[in-house]
Amino acid sequence: MATSSAPAASCPCGGPSYNQCCAPYHAGAVPPSPETLMRSRYSAYVMGLEDYLLASWHASTRPERLDLQEEPKVKWLGLTVHHAASDGDHGTVSFLARYKVGGRAYKLAEHSRFVREEGRWFYLDGDIAE
């Protein structure tokens, strides 16, 4: 009798499989590009991985904590990457993230900046579109 395995859960960032997409970065692998880091950070927000978010945030702009467990909790709904680029040790990613808080839907459009230090990309900051 043939057995079938269930397909792996899709990745919160939109990738086909969490295990083949963002999981390795959450486990310590180094994201190779600003877009990969941004996608893994989005997935970390979805999953409440505050330690990963803080570790991937540049020390010059990193907050002390994020309080991801505070009420009302954010429910992340989806991510669309509009543009990603890197030039040497600097990169940018423009994206739209959809989410809900208390049943009300919102959109976050951001143009994020990233910097690479010692071969590792970090989120630096971003401009939020109105």
Q: What CATH number does the domain containing 64 carry?
A: 3.10.450.50
Place of tokens 């739209």: 96
**Are 84 and 92 contacting, i.e. CB atoms less than 8 angstroms apart?**
yes
Query: What is the reported pLDDT for 6?
Result: 44
What predicted TM-score, i.e. pTM, was given to this entire model? 0.91
Q: Can you give the pLDDT of all 130 residues of the chain as single tens digits?
A: 444 444 558 999 999 899 999 999 999 999 999 999 999 999 999 999 999 999 999 999 999 999 888 888 899 999 999 999 999 999 999 999 999 999 999 999 999 999 999 999 999 999 998 7
Q: In this structure, is residue 105 part of a structural domain? A: yes
Tokens linked to 25 = 């970065």
Which domain does 34 fall in, by range?
A: 23-128
Q: In this structure, is residue 6 part of a structural domain? A: no
Query: What is the reported pLDDT for 70?
Result: 85
Amino acid at the residue 9 = A
